[in-house]
Chain A
Amino acid sequence: DAKTTQPNSMESNEEEPVHLPCNHSTISGTDYIHWYRQLPSQGPEYVIHGLTSNVNNRMASLAIAEDRKSSTLILHRATLRDAAVYYCILSSYGGSQGNLIFGKGTKLSVKP
């Protein structure tokens, strides 16, 4: 699976939007882009995933660059409960048949 690059940490203010970037310049045509987050002392939680088109769900939005070499997870209004490590992961099997390879992720801090 191709590698992803994320900033080590980011800070946000409560109730403001947060844009978490992820670079994946070696992405292949069959790689899905997944985002998971891990709150302290908990297992990871699925956030969103996509292949080519931008995606929206109740938790977040995923903006995928036209060349698919980068993507951005958007939290529209950060809350204190969104403080977590966010992982951007590529999986050629869409995560359903293969395991997920976790990088170091981005640690998001949210200030009140």
Chain B
Amino acid sequence: GAVVSQHPSRVICKSGTSVKIECRSLDFQATTMFWYRQFPKQSLMLMATSNEGSKATYEQGVEKDKFLINHASLTLSTLTVTSAHPEDSSFYICSAPPAAGMRETQYFGPGTRLLVL
């Protein structure tokens, strides 16, 4: 099946620093990717939709200036958490539907665990 990777898998940073998380579709092209956040013992919450070649669309309550999204190619989307604070500590997960083929499914990355000290 299709594979989505994320890097890094885990990151610890100091409060106030910025962290970049990469999401790559390894064997298919994705014009759209989705970014989710999951706090402990909670479900996934959609943060934003990343669109190749255009601006991302953010869900209500998600600060676009804090969570910068860049979808520079058909296989790569990046999420940058700017000026991270302890409340941004969470499990960040990306997903991508294939641009062709089995369009009724999405493929999820393994997630990136962010801990802000």
Most buried by A among B93, B97, B103, B104: B104
> How distant is the Cα of A102 from the Cα of B93 in the complex, in angstroms?
13
Q: Within 8 Å CB of B6, what residues of A? A: 43
Beta-carbon contact of A95 and B93 below 8 Å = no
Q: Which residues of A contact B34 (CB under 8 A)?
A: 99-100
User: Do residues B106 and A46 form an inter-chain contact, with CB atoms below 8 A?
Assistant: yes
A contact patch SS: loop
Asked if A94 contacts B104 (CB within 8 A), the reply is: yes
- Asked whether B109 lies within 8 Å of A43 as measured between CB atoms, the reply is yes
**C-alpha gap A95/B1 in the complex (Å):** 16
B105 within 8 A of A: yes
- A70-105 contact mask (Cβ, 8 Å, vs B): 1 or 0: 000000000000000001000000111101111111
With A32-B104, A41-B111 as contacts: A97 and B95 at CB distance below 8 Å: no
The docked-state distance in angstroms from the alpha carbon of A95 to that of B49 is 13
Which single member of B1, B108, B113 contacts A44 (CB below 8 Å)?
A: B108
A-chain residues with CB within 8 Å of residue B4 when the two chains form the complex: 43
Q: Who on chain B is nearest to A45 by CB?
A: B108
Q: How far is the CA of A101 from the CA of B36 in the complex (A)?
A: 10
Q: Enumerate chain B interface residues (CB-CB to A < 8 A).
A: 1, 4, 6, 32, 34, 36, 43-46, 49, 91, 93, 95, 97-98, 103-111, 113
The 6 A-B residue pairs with the shortest CB-CB distance in the complex, in nearest-first order: A96-B103, A43-B108, A94-B104, A102-B44, A96-B97, A102-B43
7 additional contacts (CB under 8 A) given A46-B108, A95-B106, A102-B43: A43-B109, A44-B108, A95-B104, A99-B49, A100-B106, A102-B36, A102-B44
